[in-house]
Structure 1
Amino acid sequence: MVQWFRFLKCDQPLAIYFFAVPYLSLNLMGYWPGKREERLPLRALVHFVILAIGVLTELHAGLLFLDQQQITLALETLCPAGTSAVTLLKMFLMLRYRSDLCDMWTRLRELLFEAQQERPEQRRIRLRHSVMAARINFWPLSTGFFTCTTYNLKPILLAFVLFLQQRGDEILWVTPFNMTMPPVLLKSPFFPLTYIFIAYTGYVTIFMFGGADGFYFEFCSHISALFEVLQAEIRAIFRPYKDLLQLSPVQLYNLEQQMRAVIIKHNAIIDLTKFFQKRYAIITLAHFVSAGMVIGFSMVNLLTVGTNGLGALLYVAYTIAALSQLLVYCYGGTLVAESSVDLAKVMGSCPWHLLSPVQRRLVLLLILRSQKAMSMAVPFFSPSLATFASILQTSGSIIALVKSFQ
């Protein structure tokens, strides 16, 4: 068990941190990207069927509560149902692009762990981003696990409290999530198995969004690291010539070859980022839409239950988990955008005027291409910290509006 969480330490090899949380989550569910010729693990199909049953029965229960005008129960049901439905979509898309994601992961690893002429500064950049990605990815997975556990333990804890108060006749055994199940499954001797099945659907959701969202942030973090490594490489290339007024033909030739290698690597990073952005566009868009709905449902539920102990704790945990998921996407988009723009600033601050007029074109093309930030944007949304701040501001306005009607 300790070996699984080695990435939380600071003294581990660089390879330990590389996609640690996404691999832990996706491999557990059977959805870690693989090549076309590799067989899909049976547990992947089993988990897909389990979650599909959970989504259908939960949505059906939510619609029934709406039809009966039980708004609080409907929101309480549709909140996790929305998250599970989007997670089911993520599972489908992870299967659909399984080989493409494997190719992107392999290419990213080749670029990141390129051992040719690696400098200590470049290694420190890679290590810093890898450790940061592992720890940030572990946060939404932890909050999601806590929220799901709270949901699963709520009926048991309520029954236990009633038992301690010697009110056993008032105990009402219910499932952790509201799902429409056949009546026979909600009675002895099948009820414990039904309870375990429903509780497990929640953990499938948690580990799948922890893996899929973690894969996104890990990719963004390492792309940002590659841009920063390029910045360090450019500084190192021009450092020997910063005090010179003129370069010899040999020096000019060597500098040009090094700059061409930087440009080739820069183009490879941009192409890889764009390819990943296209593959993750639907997942990102669906996540933003669902997370906004979940935050809204959770806040309305929180205002409805007020300070009702366990219920309030549950919705606070759910809101924090949803915001943590959004933060992962927004911070990842910001890392990529800022690091890609900084490349132009670093290039402009180097003594590139020492180059010949023909060679300066390489520099100008690099600056021009870097001036426009790489964006992980999808239709209607551009993941960034500014977007996250706008969501928080809108959420605060919704709370103030609902409070005014109370």
Structure 2
Amino acid sequence: MHKTFYIAIMFIVPFLVAVTHLSCKRDITKIEEGGRDYASRDESALNVRILLLDRVKKAELSVDGRYQILGGLSNVVDEGVKLDKANVFIENGWINLGGKRHYNSELRIKDLGGSGIVLDSIPYRGEIRILPQTDKEFSVIEEINIENFVVGVLGCEMPNSWEEDALRSQAVAIRTYVENRRKAKKNEPFHLDKSELAYRGMLGETAKSVKIVQDTAGIVMAYHGEIFSAYFHSTCGGHTEDVNLVFGKEKLPPLSGVKCGYCENSKYYTWSVNIEKSSILQKLQKAKVNVSNIVSVKTVNHGPGEHGSEVEIIAAKGKELMNANRFRLLVGPNNLYSTAFTARNNGKNITFSGKGWGHGVGLCQYGVQGMAKKGFNWREILGHYYPKSELRRIY
């Protein structure tokens, strides 16, 4: 998602990673020391920018401890020992916060006491930036150390009770995904949208998740020296999918799809759901998809994991072909669990029978837990789900 922000974009030092090709044997995966030294650089070089709210008219914010508010030129415009719950809104270009008005290009709220900044009931560890978009709308970005962000995501993406090597695998996958986005969007206002990953700020933090992230700090995956987008999902249903078929991305060996066989314990390994045709039609028409009177649906152009790359919608007045992942997201990812399905016309409903939950690309979370329970370590697990990938410590 690309939005125009009326702010000065921070410049992040680009990656300068020198690498050599490593053996792809999964049982001897090594961690190579990367060529990126942060020791003499500003700590902000390790920060990631997360879009928390986009073009909203109101939000609620508080800080239960010492805080500081800076304007667009880093000048301190307010500070105190506690910021009680206050509404944030824009009025005629002025940013209203806690009964005070600020005419700035942005406001930056810093938590100086370590309690976190609470935004709409969710506490965040990083700095919160309020950015006016119009006379009435604003967006909110969190700027946070990447390791703290990985901790928060890990606690929301995978149960804390799971095997430690499963959690370590997930932590490295998250960090790799984030580093890929940081590099691709280094000159943009934000690197990630909150909706890209399961993230609820400090609510995802536990003592165990902090330890797990510390165990793998600075470690990412690369292919021929390039940090790739390490996708992950809940359940593959037996075989992960090719990134080219799901997202239309360039083919890449670590994201080409592999046989899993470890996620049978997921309740979404196989599934069947009934969804009303009228509900599907309403959501498609809202998204400007030209369909009416749906007769049936079927997936076409299947990948190695049996996910369809496209969906053919057969309607009373013809057929409509659309991207399968887009179809799933429009119908609802918590309603239609994956695109590896067959569909049957059932009167007013369509019965979808399928396997897996999620897009199917990259790491299968239930498969990771299954492998960890069988004694595989996190290096072996990552080598399995991302074949021919290299592990590198970049800071």
Name the structure with the higher helix share.
1
User: If the TM-score is normalised by the length of the shorter chain, which range does it land in?
Assistant: under 0.3
Q: TM-score, normalised by structure 1?
A: 0.22
Higher relative contact order (CA 8 A, sep 6+): 1
Name the structure with the higher strand share.
2
Q: TM-score, normalised by structure 2?
A: 0.23
